[in-house]
Structure 1
Amino acid sequence: MPIFIAALIGALVQAAGSLVGRVLISLGISYVVFSGVDTSIGWARDFAVSSFQGLDGNTLRVLGLMKVGVCISMLSSAVVARLTLKGLTGGLLKRLAVK
């Protein structure tokens, strides 16, 4: 008998979850999931750093004195920290979207 009750409760929970999802979608409320956010930020950082390869020595020395590499690192870290506070976990950003 307890197995039957557990199966019944499991089915009710699954039905309620899909019912709640249908109601929220009909109201125009849904979740949007952005994947690959951390990969995109890493790509942008690597692209910015690799764009310095074609520069001559004097320009690279000036950029080194200006700490441009540190600035790029700080900016990418700030973006990741902001996204983490907004809900970035495991490379996924989940947002509530209201139409």
Structure 2
Amino acid sequence: MARTHAMHRRAVVAFSGSIMVAAVFAWLPLQAAAADLRQGSDVTVGPGETVNDDIYAGAGTVSISGTVNGSVIAGGGTITVSGTITRDLILGGGTINVTGHVGGSI
């Protein structure tokens, strides 16, 4: 009987875990599937570069000097935005400098 109870408990835990994972994936916005995900020690959008999508970046240094036709969500030690962001800008970091144009909210 103890063995059956333990097997039942494992099945319930596994099923609950599967439901939680499915719920997390269902909760994620569908727009993120088409987003530009960037990470590493340095993430850069150069002066002549144009990105036609949202950017999600995580790096020690994030530098946006070009144009992003979308939103930028970034976290890093040093973040510099001197280019153009057509939508929203959401940043979290140690040092943040925004001198470029942002079409949405910051």
User: TM-score, with normalisation over the residues of structure 1?
Assistant: 0.28
- TM (norm. structure 2) is 0.27
Higher helix share: 1
The structure that has the greater radius of gyration is 1
